[in-house]
Chain A
C-alpha cells in the first residue's frame, strides 16, 4: 500500500486515474490548482489504484491522502 499525499493546500483540478488502473512511478495522478498554478502530483512508486479519496473541486490540505495504491 502506498498513499499519495497532497504536498500543499489547494483544490483538486483533475483526476487522471480511475480505481483499478495500473500506474507507474512518476506518472501524473492528480492535477491540483494552488496559488493559481496547475500542479501535477505524481506517484512515487508504481501500483494499482485502490481508492480515490477526493473529487474534482475538493479543497485538500497539505498532508491529506488523495489516492491509495496497492502494490
Chain B
C-alpha cells in the first residue's frame, strides 16, 4: 500500500512544482529564442544565499499560473540587499493578473520600507485583458506600480533589465527606472504594438523598428545601456549598482584605487590648442579615471555629450563631458536632456560630478529653435543649479556662451572651476565675436587681403581680452593647472569635498522645471 503523503510533503511538492515555472512547451520556446528563463536570471543576478521569496504560492490553485507569472524576492548582490521583481515569460507570456500586480506592488513597498534598491527584470506581454477589472483600474492595480515608481524615484536606485517585451502601460516600468539596460534583439518597449499600430494608424513596422533595444538606445534615448546578451546585461546591473549607495541618505561605496588605463602625463599632447580642431574627449577621460572603472550611460545617443560613471582614486564620480569629435561638442536638445537626466541621477544618490568642458555653446538656427532648444537648455541649467553634490568643472578648452553655465561654470556653484592653459572662456569664440562687433567695418574693406588682416588683428585683440590669465587674475576661475596634473588635482579636491552635506537649499515643495 502506498504511504499517505504528509501535509508537509504535499506542500513541498507544490512549492517545487511552482519553482519549475510554466509549462515545458513554453520554456522550450523561450530557450529557442535564446532567452534565459526567469529563475535562471535570478540565479545569475543574486548571491546564492540568502534569498527569500514572497508570493510563491500566488494563484497556486490554478494549474497554469505558477507564482502568477512574476517572481518577487529579497536577495543580495555582492553582499548588498536588493528587492527584485522578475516577470516569468513561461507563464502566460509574463502577463499580469490581479496577483501579479499585487506582488509587484508589495516588493516595491518592501524596497521603500527597507530603503534598498529595486530591480526589475522585465519580460512581459502586459496586462491580461480578460482580468482587467481586477488589475487595471483600481487603487492597488497596475497604475499603482507606476505611482510607486515615481515616489521611489531618487529614494532608492531603480534598475531595469529589458530582456523581453514590455508593452503598452507596462513600458512605463522600464521608463520610470533610473537606468534601462536593454538586451539587443530581445528587449522591446512600446506603447502600441506593431499590430495595434497597423490597425489604428495604418503603420506597418517590425517590433525592432517600433521599440527594439537598439532603437531606444540610439534614437529615442529611452534606453541607457545596450548589451548583446542577457548575461552581459546582468553583469551591467551589478557594475552599475557598484557606483550607488543603497538609498539617498547614504554615500556611494568606494573601491580599491587603480591607476588610469592611459598615462595622465600625455594629456597636454592630446588637447589641440586650436579651438576649432576636434579631438576625442574619451582620451581625456581615460587619463583621469581608474582603469576599468568606466560605465557609460546613453553612449549611443546624443553622442556630442558624454555621460558616465567612473572612479577617481577609488571615489565614484559622474562625468559629464562635451565631445568635440561629434557635432563639434555643440549642445542640442537631446544632449541637454541627456545631461539633465544624468546630473539629477548623480545628485539624487550623492555621487560627485565632474564636468569636462569644451563647448562652443548651444546650437542655433531655426531647426533647434522649433525643437525648443530654450526649453531643453533650461532643463540642463536647472539640473546644474539644483545639484548640491560636490561639483568640479574643468575648462579643458573653449567654454562659450550659455555652454559655460550649462557645464557648471563659476556662476553655478561648483566647488571649484579650474582651467587648463588651453582654456578659452567667452561669450562667443573670436571668429563669431569679431564678425558680430565689426560687421560693418569688415564689409567696408574691399581688398580681401586687407580684410583678412583686419579680421586677424581683431581676433587677436579679442583673444587677449579673454586671456585665461586675465580670468585667473580676476578670480573668475579658481585655478589654472597644467593638463598633466589634472588627475592628481581632482583626487585632492574630491577628497576635500567628499563630506559636503549636499542638503536641499530652500524649503519648498519643488521647483517648476521646464520639460
Q: Once the chains are docked, how many angstroms separate the CA of A53 from the CA of B325? A: 24
Size bracket of the A interface: 10 to 19
- The answer to whether B429 and A7 touch across the interface, beta carbons within 8 angstroms, is no
- The answer to whether B432 and A37 touch across the interface, beta carbons within 8 angstroms, is no
Q: Once the chains are docked, how many angstroms separate the CA of A40 from the CA of B112? A: 48
Looking at B37-45, B200-208, B327-335, the stretch in contact with chain A turns out to be B327-335
A36/B367 contact (C-beta < 8 A), A7-B327, A8-B327, A8-B330 known: no
A36/B431 contact (C-beta < 8 A), A7-B327, A8-B327, A8-B330 known: yes
Residues of A within 8 A of B117 (CB): none
Tally of A-B Cβ pairs under 8 angstroms: 42
A40/B431 contact (C-beta < 8 A), A35-B328, A35-B364 known: no
- The answer to whether A35 and B278 touch across the interface, beta carbons within 8 angstroms, is no
- The answer to whether A35 and B361 touch across the interface, beta carbons within 8 angstroms, is yes
Does residue B165 face the partner (Cβ distance < 8 Å to A)?
Answer: no
Which residues of chain B from 296 to 337 have any CB-CB distance to chain A below 8 Å in the complex? 324-330, 332
B332-345 CB contact bits vs A (8 Å, 1 = yes)?
Answer: 10000000000000
Q: Once the chains are docked, how many angstroms separate the CA of A37 from the CA of B328? A: 6
Minimum CB–CB distance from A9 to chain B (whole Å) comes to 5
Additional 20 contacts, C-beta under 8 A, given A7-B326, A8-B330, A38-B276: A7-B327, A8-B327, A8-B363, A34-B327, A35-B328, A35-B330, A35-B360, A35-B361, A35-B363, A36-B276, A36-B431, A36-B432, A37-B276, A37-B328, A37-B329, A37-B330, A37-B360, A39-B328, A40-B278, A40-B325
In the complex, 24 of the A-B residue pairs with CB atoms within 8 angstroms, ordered by the A residue number, are A7-B326, A8-B327, A8-B328, A8-B363, A9-B363, A34-B330, A35-B328, A35-B330, A35-B360, A35-B361, A35-B363, A35-B364, A36-B429, A37-B278, A37-B328, A37-B329, A37-B360, A38-B328, A39-B278, A39-B327, A40-B278, A40-B325, A61-B367, A62-B367
